[in-house]
Structure 1
């Protein structure tokens, strides 16, 4: 009886997961299949679950499509801007978070609890609440319409530092003492020991931050008025939501972060919740 109950429970769990997967991925699959049809033969309802024969032709023509009023922006340029925003934000976020956590954990920083509390407070404040004062600072530094202006303000959150502080507290004190006996200073200990040990969490945080940076919309809209600085997500405004080109841009904007998460989902979970253990 217990075996049957366990089997029924397993079937029920998988059924719930299957339903959830269909609800989450179904619209995206329908959108992708719709873009494989010629522009003049789009279904009346807008989406279809039947594949077409013009997918390669549609996407190859999209690559060289000129966007905007100036005609200088292309899909490749928009994708490059999105990549720079996502990768730049992720790399700097990981580096600054680990360095801040290292300082708060291993050094006698005055008012360290207060500093950590302020970092935690930044997690509770939505990014949109800081847009106006942040824009004033960026504009005064003449960083509008630049990649730096899009990346640097997004770094002002303490979520990465929080995770690294919790992880570094689990590192045995004997490791620090052994490094000191070996003659390793703070910089060598950080580079040769802590950074390699933290690689799983660094990789997990990089992926999460990359997806966050890639999907940014409101801040790039506010900071970039030059069409050559638009991101792929913002490029959707050039076309109607039901147009073939708009659907293809939506698919392209979702594909890189989705593939990154799917390919490295186990590493993300292991890094964020288990560290290197």
Structure 2
């Protein structure tokens, strides 16, 4: 029996509302700041109501950027970040699905050894192996390219481990039934495993997309051509302008635009994302 406690429900809701307000307040401040004129920041105080320069600021950042800070137009940087994030995401998912499928359903020598070798790479993130990785990318002529931005980051031991654990929960009767029907390994993978893995794929898609979108160190090292700058790199350059104070009203406009794609991905895939993280029975 569930007891009705109005006071307890009220306190719980107030705490939740307070938590949401604390999380959203910095976002609101960034949005408000992106609508102000340049003179507002020279006064030392920031209004808490939107200004009248929103379209002007966003258009200026989208079309021109901050050339004096070495940042190209935000539209171009957003496109570069989108291409890199999608390439990393689809690359990680494809490699992880195929490697987990091979480890679980193929009987070859040392398969568990190879799995643990893959799993051990969790202790070697790109920051640890960045010098040899940079050398390989430079020797292959992939500096200042989308291939150089994405290929070194597409392997994922985490996704391989999660898909392996999920594939091991699938009854072997499905595999036997597929064999009886004459299905080969690739047909079994395409027609049975992939549909069963949709929620897992969706959850990992969101995580991997945000991972790729937020990359800073690796793009900073391998890109010297402004045509390949990502939005995270651009934000850093905007805030460290060498010949004057940062134009915070324009920087905040770029911040809001940079935050929109990950937010939209989470909103559109929220149901599958939560289902993929919480569902235990398929």
| Structures share fold, TM-score greater than 0.5 | yes
RMSD: 2.4
**Secondary structure in 1 matching 2:90:** helix
Gaps of 5+ in 1: none
Name the structure 1 match of 2:48.
49
Name the structure 2 match of 1:192.
191
Contact in 2 for aligned 1:163/1:272 (Cα 8 Å): no
Name the structure 2 match of 1:202.
201
**How many residue pairs end up in the alignment?**
276
Name the structure 2 match of 1:272.
277
Name the structure 1 match of 2:256.
251
Name the structure 2 match of 1:176.
175
Shift of 1:243: 1.8
Name the structure 1 match of 2:237.
238
Shift of 1:71: 7.9
Taking the aligned partners of 2:80 and 2:222, their CA distance within structure 1 comes to: 13
Gaps of 5+ in 2: 240-245
Change (3 A) 1:256 1:276: farther
Superposition pairs for residues 1-277 of structure 1, below 5 Å?
3-5=3-5, 7-42=6-41, 44-45=43-44, 47-68=46-67, 73-240=72-239, 243-274=248-279, 277=282
Taking the aligned partners of 1:4 and 1:70, their CA distance within structure 2 comes to: 59
* Range 126-135 or range 88-97, more displaced: 126-135
Query: TM-score if structure 2 supplies the norm length?
Result: 0.89
Contact in 2 for aligned 1:220/1:230 (Cα 8 Å): yes
Query: TM-score if structure 1 supplies the norm length?
Result: 0.90
Taking the aligned partners of 2:208 and 2:13, their CA distance within structure 1 comes to: 30
Taking the aligned partners of 1:103 and 1:231, their CA distance within structure 2 comes to: 35
* Range 112-121 or range 67-76, more displaced: 67-76
Shift of 1:21: 2.1
Taking the aligned partners of 1:73 and 1:37, their CA distance within structure 2 comes to: 22
Shift of 1:8: 4.6
Contact in 1 for aligned 2:100/2:164 (Cα 8 Å): yes
**Secondary structure in 2 matching 1:121:** helix
Taking the aligned partners of 1:276 and 1:215, their CA distance within structure 2 comes to: 32
Contact in 2 for aligned 1:68/1:238 (Cα 8 Å): no
Taking the aligned partners of 1:151 and 1:232, their CA distance within structure 2 comes to: 15
Taking the aligned partners of 2:270 and 2:252, their CA distance within structure 1 comes to: 26
Structure number with greater CO (CA < 8 Å, separation at least 6) is 2
